[in-house]
Amino acid sequence: MPRPTTSASGRSRDDETWYAGEVAPRGESRNPGPFYPTGQELPAWLIDRAKDPWFVTKQVLPSRSDLQVWGRALKSLPGAYGSDESDIQPTGLDGHLWVHVPLGEDQIRSIWIDSGIGTTHPESGWHSIDRFEHFILTLAGYKLKSGVFLPRYSWLVIFGFGLGDHSDPSPLTVGGVGRKTVPSIVDAFDLLEAVTMGIEPIPTTANGLSHAG
């Protein structure tokens, strides 16, 4: 029986790109790789689509290696504490890694103003700074996976402030004051260090409203 020159989909056998789930003609392997046969190139349009971060982007759990890198980066910031390689799994309930960096009052005021975070709203945490002696800059990191066939990984980092500590009867949290997607954990900590040193502002997305916690 002569070999057909077209597939069931109507594509030519001479230049056809095989897709997962398509039935192979008898005698031809369909299992040399997870999606495509060895030596078969992905079509250009699919490569471009898979590189598009908005094609498929979802949060994934950090790996043990991620925890180790985060823990080492953590040690580069004096007084900082947070997730490290001793964690069996991410301590954030939603699978994020975190770091807290102590700040002085002048430091938090400077970061707040330089980043353009709101100060005029009646519920802005700015009005509560005078009530406290201890302050922290917080950063939560969420690992993201983009694409399907050629996945890429990045990190969404979200900034916030903490006013007061456990010795205060009513500490305040000022969360989600800024966010940015960066390529790696190292880039996340470079940005965090630049913010604490006053070199770069927080990428601002919120007005700095505070809540108890």
Which residue has 């979200």 as its token pair? 158
Q: Is residue 28 in some structural domain?
A: no
Q: Whole-angstrom Cα distance, residue 69 to residue 186?
A: 8
pLDDT values of the chain reduced to their tens digit, one per residue, 213 residues: 444 444 344 443 333 332 233 333 333 333 333 333 333 454 565 455 555 555 578 888 898 899 999 999 999 999 999 988 776 555 555 788 999 999 999 999 999 999 999 898 888 999 999 999 999 999 999 999 987 777 889 999 999 999 998 888 889 999 889 999 999 999 999 999 999 999 999 997 766 666 554
Q: What is the pTM for the complete model shown?
A: 0.71
Residue at 47 is within a domain: no
- In the block, tokens 């809540």 appear at 211
In a domain, 45, yes or no: no
Asked whether residue 41 is domain-assigned, the answer is: no
What range does the domain containing 82 cover? 57-212
The answer to whether 169 and 212 are in contact (CB under 8 A) is: no
Is 123 within a domain? yes
Examine residue 34 and state whether it is found in any structural domain, yes or no.
Answer: no
Q: Quickly list DSSP for 48-102.
A: HHHH-TTTSEEE-PPPHHHHHHHHHHHTTSTT-EE--TT-SS-SSTTS-EEEEEE
Contact (Cβ atoms closer than 8 angstroms) between residue 185 and residue 192 = no
Q: CA 86, CA 154: separation in Å to the nearest integer? A: 23
- Give buried/exposed letters for 6-41 (b at 16+ CB in 10 A, else e): ebeeeeeeeeeebeeeeeeeeeeeeeeeeebeeeee
Instruction: Confirm whether 20 is domain-assigned.
Output: no
* Counted domains in the chain: 1
Q: Tell whether 106 is covered by a domain.
A: yes
**91 Cβ neighbours under 8 A, 6+ residues apart:** 83, 98
Q: Which residue type occupies 39?
A: G
The sign of the CA dihedral 122, 99, 52, 147 is negative
